[in-house]
Structure 1
Amino acid sequence: MSPFAKLLLVYDGSAEAQAALERCAQLSLALSAQVDVISVVDAESANAHCAGLLSDLAFHRLEELARSTLDHAVRQLTGDGIVASGYVSFGRLNDVVLRHTQAFNPDLVVVGHRAQARRSRWWGSRSAHHELTERLGGTTIVTVTLPGT
């Protein structure tokens, strides 16, 4: 049996997350590992973008979108014969991933990555996987980028 028995996929439906889903499926099949998929509803960031005016309706729409996105990923994995469980979690992405890894102890965390624009790098914005690397000391993180980026 492989030492990697459980994978965690962070999935938001983006093209990068879809690439991560495909890589996670390949890893899961190769390692005979089960997969936990999390979709994050970050209402705090959404509320900040709305100047604090995020309505209940908008919040529920964010949750519906996360559930739909999560269902797509879990269906794709189970269709490939992979044992997969899905979770919708609320909070900031890195906090949610940290909580999930503490609770379920995955062997690998798989995330999609979008290369930052120069302006973002210049302003000092850090991508999620950089912070995850620091916060998840000892956990292996697989970062998947789109071909050609």
Structure 2
Amino acid sequence: MYQRILLAFNGSPDGREALVQAESLALACGATVHLLAIIDPSESMLVVEAMSFTPDNQRFVVQIVLDEGVKRLRRAGCTAISELKYGRPTEQIILSAREIDADLIVVGHRDQGTLARWLNGSVGESILHQPPCSLLVAVKSERRASNVTPIQQLTGRGKR
């Protein structure tokens, strides 16, 4: 079914939920997961796990988040590859999906109100306008406890 899954991953709680769901699918299908993080140069600050970072160390922090995602997938028995790109997230996700000939794109769902969604946009919705393959928007079920481990617990490191 799925052989190449592209996971847009940023280490946020929504991104970690997408990681969990991509992991389950990859294990069921024997797929390779390509983790993709995107640094949007138009954003002046990155926020991961309620920690903010300046653009000077942004690449370093994003690479740590990607590495932790790959480690989690590999510990579960998945084949995982990571890549860091710069640009507008929707464009980079679509471009990467085409480059790797992805069967499925997995993104997290950021819960925000109507006005915020209108102002900020939705990556998942934007991808639907020009989908290169199937798209899964991972949403955490209200009925089950979170199975998402925060990044600090995975690394054993505290906040910096």
TM range (shorter): 0.7 to 0.9
Which range moves more in the overlay, 8-17 or 112-121? 112-121
For 1:27 and 1:46, locate their aligned partners in 2 and report how far apart those are by CA, in whole Å: 34
| Residue aligning to 1:129 | 124
Q: Deviations over 1:52-93 (max 9, x none)?
A: xxxxx9333111111011001000001111110000111110
Task: Check if 1:10 corresponds to 2:8.
Answer: yes
Aligned-residue RMSD, C-alpha: 1.9
Determine if contact 1:4/1:31 at 8 Å carries over to the other structure: yes
Q: Secondary structure at the match of 2:68?
A: helix
Percent of pairs identical after alignment? 23
Whichever of the two has the greater Rg, that structure is 1
Determine if contact 1:111/1:143 at 8 Å carries over to the other structure: yes
TM-score of the two chains, using structure 1 as the length reference: 0.83
Q: Cα offset for 1:125?
A: 4.6
Task: Check if 1:61 corresponds to 2:57.
Answer: yes
**Structure 2 stretches lacking a partner, 5+ long:** 46-52, 144-160
Determine if contact 2:44/2:54 at 8 Å carries over to the other structure: no
TM-score of the two chains, using structure 2 as the length reference: 0.78
Determine if contact 1:40/1:91 at 8 Å carries over to the other structure: yes
Determine if contact 1:113/1:144 at 8 Å carries over to the other structure: yes
Task: Check if 1:145 corresponds to 2:143.
Answer: no
Q: Number of residue pairs matched?
A: 136
For 2:23 and 2:104, locate their aligned partners in 1 and report how far apart those are by CA, in whole Å: 12
For 2:12 and 2:128, locate their aligned partners in 1 and report how far apart those are by CA, in whole Å: 21
For 1:131 and 1:98, locate their aligned partners in 2 and report how far apart those are by CA, in whole Å: 10
Q: Secondary structure at the match of 1:73?
A: helix
Task: Identify, as 1 or 2, the structure richer in helix.
Answer: 1
Determine if contact 1:11/1:111 at 8 Å carries over to the other structure: yes
Q: Cα offset for 1:107?
A: 0.2
Q: Secondary structure at the match of 2:42?
A: helix
| Residue aligning to 2:28 | 30
